[in-house]
Structure 1
Amino acid sequence: MTAARLIIWRHGRTAWNATGRFQGQADIPLDEVGRGQAAAAAPRIAALGPTAIVASDLSRAAETADALARVTGLTVTYDRRLREIDVGSWEGLTVATVEQQDPGHVHDHHLGADFRRSATGETAGEVADRVAAALTEIVGAADDDAVVVAVMHGLAGRVGMARFLDLEPNRFGGMRNCGWINLERHRLGHWLVREYNATAPETGMPAPEDRVA
């Protein structure tokens, strides 16, 4: 069995998103704007006919998933493999501070290198592997006509989707808060990207830089 559709949905805005701080796996809740974004986007996601919702266990993803659960009546399940990249000692720091402390980060980012987010954090490649493994397991366990919504994070969603499709993560830009990716399984078994970074009009925001996870 394999789901017919997979929706990867990024959480709404947090205060740390708004101030350009590295979040990583810090458990930062949605701010007022983020809650409004989730409420606005939920009916759009519901219109795609979801049959299951699985979310990262971090509160910003869980709160976003709850907005969809209220509209659809579905129960949310959680998978910690869908968490955002671990940024280690960069957690809570601004981009400017990280650039001062680790100027090599800027160089690696501009080159598109797969660099480690601080000495104690993860690389995008490591995140891609764990998220893709989770997505493969989740859709593989679903019925053939299922529409699965995976509620997660910007970088994790982008690179995990790319690895799931056996593509290079750097082929895709950053995801907006409450933006979603719509993947449809072709009758021959491969997956098609029907939408990328789609948003409800009420939630439209500039896409963030992936450095701020």
Structure 2
Amino acid sequence: MTDGPAKQASLAPDSTRLLVIRHGETAWNRERRWQGHLDIDLNARGAVQAASLGPALAHEPLDAVYASDLQRARKTAEGMSHGRGLPVHLDPALRERAFGAFEGMLHGEVEAADPAGYARWRAHDLDYGPPGGETLADFHRRVLDAVTAIARRHLGQVVAIVTHGGVLDCLYRAASGAPMHGPRTADLLNAAINRLEYAGGRLHLVSWGEAEHLAGLALDEIDRA
């Protein structure tokens, strides 16, 4: 999904342009295994996806790069920032949602072990948290606080944020005005480029799901749930 933005349009001094990017693919993405806060590395395809981001953004201004401190996000950010001389600022608040006891399990295993909890997760129940994990409401609050702080720190600039599928879902909903609960409607593709603008104290959707640089290599987040 993309609205074909004018990528070099002028930026107001009281707004921030955000390029928000999901990390490259991991083996656990392919296996339908819950990662959460577990520190899983990119697979070979994910490394290729990460390397493709630098050339895709080579002709665009970029003032700062932030990433989750989990290596799948950090390595994707490093691939994108290579050659620009920009450090990657690591922020644990950009991590995926904490799934507690479900981390490391396959989706089918979670559904079999806790069908009621799995159904609440798929329904995007704001009050539901896996055992030892975050509620969706707490996760949304963490993500939006972190991204808003980054945007305010870089008014008048362009910032890339490399993070996780669940984080992108939060940001898409906030920027598009979609409710924070219920089924999702946006693709969450590995290493696709998604554009937001922070202005007037809130996020605005510019475009979503630019994946031409991936040549069909992108994998969507598990299910539309």
1:122 to 1:160, Cα distance in 2 relative to 1, 3 A = farther
Aligned mates of 1:3, 1:130 — CA distance in 2: 21
Counting only pairs closer than 5 Å after superposition, residues 108-187 of structure 1 correspond to structure 2 as 108-114=120-126, 116-144=128-156, 146-163=157-174, 167-169=178-180, 170=182, 172-185=185-198
Distance 1:132 1:25 in 2: 18
Structure holding more helix per residue = 1
What secondary structure is seen at the aligned counterpart in 1 of 2:206? strand
Q: 1:192 aligns with which of 186, 196, 204?
A: 204
What is the distance in 2 between the residues matched to 1:3 and 1:11?
Answer: 25
Q: How does 1:1-213 map to 2 (within 5 A)?
A: 2-114=14-126, 116-144=128-156, 146-163=157-174, 167-169=178-180, 170=182, 172-185=185-198, 191-199=203-211, 200-209=213-222
Letter in 2 for 1:70: H
Offset from partner CA, 1:147-191 (integer Å, 9 cap, x none): 0111100011221443466642345434111123201356x6764
Q: Report how far residue 207 of structure 1 moved.
A: 1.8
Residues 83, 76 of structure 1: CA spacing in aligned structure 2 closer, same or farther, 3 A cutoff? same
Q: Which amino acid aligns with 2:191?
A: C
The percent identity for this pair of structures is 30
Q: What count of residue pairs does the alignment treat as equivalent? A: 210
Q: 2:4 aligns to what?
A: none
Q: 1:2 to 1:167 in 2, by over 3 A?
A: farther
The 1:203/1:70 distance shift into structure 2, 3 A limit, reads farther
Contact in 2 for aligned 1:90/1:117 (Cα 8 Å): no
The residue matched to 1:72 in structure 2 has which SS?
Answer: coil
Q: Give 1:123 shift.
A: 2.2
User: Could you list the runs of 5+ residues in structure 2 that have no partner in the other structure?
Assistant: 1-12
Give the TM-score normalised by structure 1. 0.86
Q: Residue 83 of structure 1: CA displacement?
A: 0.3
Query: Which is worse superposed, 42-51 or 54-63?
Result: 42-51
Counterpart residue type for residue 138 of structure 1: I
Secondary structure of the residue aligned to 2:82 is: helix
Distance in 2, Cα, partners of 1:115 & 1:179: 30
Residue identity in the other structure for 1:83:
R
Q: Deviation string for 1:12-38 (max 9, x for gaps)? A: 011111111000000001111100011
Q: Which consecutive residues of structure 1, in runs of 5 or more, have no partner in the other structure? A: none
